[in-house]
Structure 1
């Protein structure tokens, strides 16, 4: 079970503490077990700081605490605080990656059969799409819908999300696309073939947790080969 420790302290010497933590990171390289750390400053009290540190488990957190470097840095940190810091230990019982869930729903929605559902709750009106297969970037919700409809008119398809990695306002999605060609696609007559393509899409999120930008990379050449579009071109 994921474990989180919250460190609450007051100090007028945060810059010194920050440098101290940089020293700890350097000294414990390859030893520390923390996977994620966030430091926040109280918006209404510039001397109040909270650090949230995530570990894979309570046992890993204890291993981290027992490092001699951690003990030394802790004693130096206490000396820089205006009062004794407090510690709160939490077992994580719910952890929602909301942007990752929105990305998952985006791929499920554009692969839904029948009429393309609205995308307004997933994508911003000022959406900006980067696709190396297009000469120009796709701008706006309407342009995105036209691009999606082009694929939907040529194939019945599904997406399988193989990996999702979130960082800040971005979600990286590694996916496998499986489709059956049902109509002409980019000048290629309908073949009825079942085809597969792998790719990666990075979504950037903006206001109201909607997708505002995306970067696509996928094996379009491999798809064309499966459809027989490259026959006669090979040397």
Structure 2
């Protein structure tokens, strides 16, 4: 279970707090156990500043607290604040990674479910899709739906999400797929051959929807399996 420490403080010198966080990160490089740190300022009260630091566990947080560099930076932080900072220790009982779930829905409902129109729900109105295997490297929603529909009808693919990594508004996904060539694809008539392959995608999310995506699959391997290109 991951652990989060929330530090509340009051200061008008947020820039100095930022400098202290940079100094702490540099001083504890290779020794700190924190995995993620956020500094936020209250919109309603700009002197109210909150720092949120994530750790793999409470025990790892305690190791971090006992580092001499952490103690030094904390004493400097107290000097910058108007009042002594308060600490809230939280055991994480739920951690929803919503952007990952959005990408998983794309695979479950569009790729595996064959529901191309779900793009209208999952994607923003100005969505852009980039894929070198499509007719253009910059497609809007309707164009992407049309070309993805050709792929779905030609191969009836099934995809497996092998791994996903999220950072900020970006999600990187590694996947594998299988299918059968049962319909025309880019001028190639159905061969009834089974196909399989791997791919990677990077997705940018905005406002709970997919705003942009970049895809790369093993297109050469696909053409070889269809007999169009010699192995």
- 1:216 equivalenced with 2:215 (yes/no): yes
- 1:202 equivalenced with 2:202 (yes/no): yes
Q: CA deviation at 1:81?
A: 0.9
Distance 1:115 1:103 in 2: 14
Distance 1:50 1:133 in 2: 46
Structure 2: 5+ residue stretches without partners: none
Q: Is the 8 A contact 1:109 1:117 kept in 2?
A: no
> Does 82-91 or 103-112 show the bigger shift?
103-112
- In structure 2, the partner of 1:58 is 58
Distance 1:113 1:9 in 2: 49
Distance 2:6 2:113 in 1: 46
- In structure 2, the partner of 1:81 is 81
Give the alignment's TM-score, normalised by structure 1: 0.92
Distance 1:149 1:3 in 2: 44
Distance 1:19 1:213 in 2: 34
Distance 2:19 2:114 in 1: 58
- In structure 1, the partner of 2:26 is 26
- In structure 2, the partner of 1:11 is 11
Distance 1:183 1:54 in 2: 50
Q: Is the 8 A contact 1:37 1:54 kept in 2?
A: yes
Change (3 A) 1:108 1:43: same
Q: Is the 8 A contact 2:5 2:88 kept in 1?
A: yes
Change (3 A) 1:226 1:16: same
Distance 1:78 1:154 in 2: 64
- In structure 1, the partner of 2:105 is 105
SS of the residue corresponding to residue 145 of structure 1 reads helix
Q: CA deviation at 1:113?
A: 5.0
Q: Is the 8 A contact 1:110 1:148 kept in 2?
A: no
- In structure 1, the partner of 2:121 is 121
Alignment RMSD = 1.6
Structure 1: 5+ residue stretches without partners: none
Q: Is the 8 A contact 1:5 1:52 kept in 2?
A: yes
Superimposed CA distance per residue, residues 98-142 of structure 1 (whole angstroms, 9 cap, x where no aligned partner): 111011111112224566443322112221111122352343321
Distance 2:136 2:183 in 1: 25
- In structure 2, the partner of 1:227 is 226
